[in-house]
A and B are shown apart, each in its own frame.
Chain A
Amino acid sequence: MQKERPLSPHLQVYKPQLTSMLSILHRGTGVFLALGTPVLVLWLLALAGGAEAYVNFQACFNNWFAQLLVFGWTYALFYHLCNGIRHLFWDVGRGFEIETLYTSGKAVMLISVLMTAVTWYFAVSRLGGAA
């Protein structure tokens, strides 16, 4: 009888690699996105609650910390979206070659940063216009 059953990898003994970092980031962003969904629902509640509720809701974002969280949420969404597509390719059995893994990983990093930058470029220029 085999007593020593295989354990999941002990992360401490592995050298950090791009692939493993991106993988854990997928989980991290997934959890962070999920934690952000109540804020999204609060926004809808504020919209349903009338002009005053809406202004109060907007006022909560007038500080750098809240803005940083929203910025992080945007990046998390784009990262998770791009890497999620990578996951879906794996689910149908494609893209597992080492070289492809690295290329797609780098593409995900680049595209998610670009998408975040474009989004905030437009958001900030609109905010500037409104102020």
Chain B
Amino acid sequence: MSLRSPLSKAVGLGSAKHGFSHWWWQRVSAIALIPLSIWFVFSVVCLVGGEYQTAVDWLSSPFNATLMLLFVLAALFHGQTGLQVVIEDYVHTKWVNLSILLLIKFASALLAILATISVFKVVLGG
């Protein structure tokens, strides 16, 4: 005898889980990344091998800082959702799968916050 209702035991066991929203946001981030990646590569080519001050001045512009954050955050989000699909395909031992997934999620969160704080520091002239 269990206190869990039969419904609560069944819900969420299907293969779909929150599959659609995962799929959808993977596509939304992909579309956002099309112009953002092109902008990013173009910008880096302009800065490559350059002076520190040139790069700081460049990133200090609110416009560049905004696009930079959008690019990094979209890439991290898209990469993280993408890697999840890859490990779901190849790693079938439940606890290993879950451990890698958590590692990817924590690492992405860490990178996202580091990136955000760094960009803010440069924009605010720290």
Chain A interfacial positions (CB closer than 8 Å to B): 27, 30-31, 33-34, 37-38, 40-41, 44-45, 47-48, 50-51, 54-55, 58, 74, 77, 81, 84-85, 87-88, 91, 119, 122-123, 126-127, 130-131
Contact = CB atoms under 8 A, between A and B. Distances in A.
A34 B114 contact: no
Nearest to B104: A34
Nearest to A124: B48
B50 interface: yes
B115 A126 contact: no
Contact of B82 (A34, A44, A48, A85): A34
A105 to B, nearest CB: 18
Interface of B: 27, 30-31, 33-34, 37-38, 41, 45-46, 48-50, 52-53, 55-56, 59, 68, 72, 75-76, 79-80, 82-83, 86, 107, 111, 114-115, 117-119, 121-122, 126
5 contacts: A37-B76, A40-B115, A127-B48, A130-B50, A131-B49
A119 B75 contact: no
Contacts of B27: 88, 91
For the complex, would chain A's binding face be called helix, strand, loop or mixed by DSSP majority?
Answer: helix
B83 A48 contact: no
A123 B48 contact: yes
B41 A77 contact: yes
A88 B111 contact: no
A81 B82 CA distance: 14
A33 B41 CA distance: 13
Contacts of B119: 44, 48
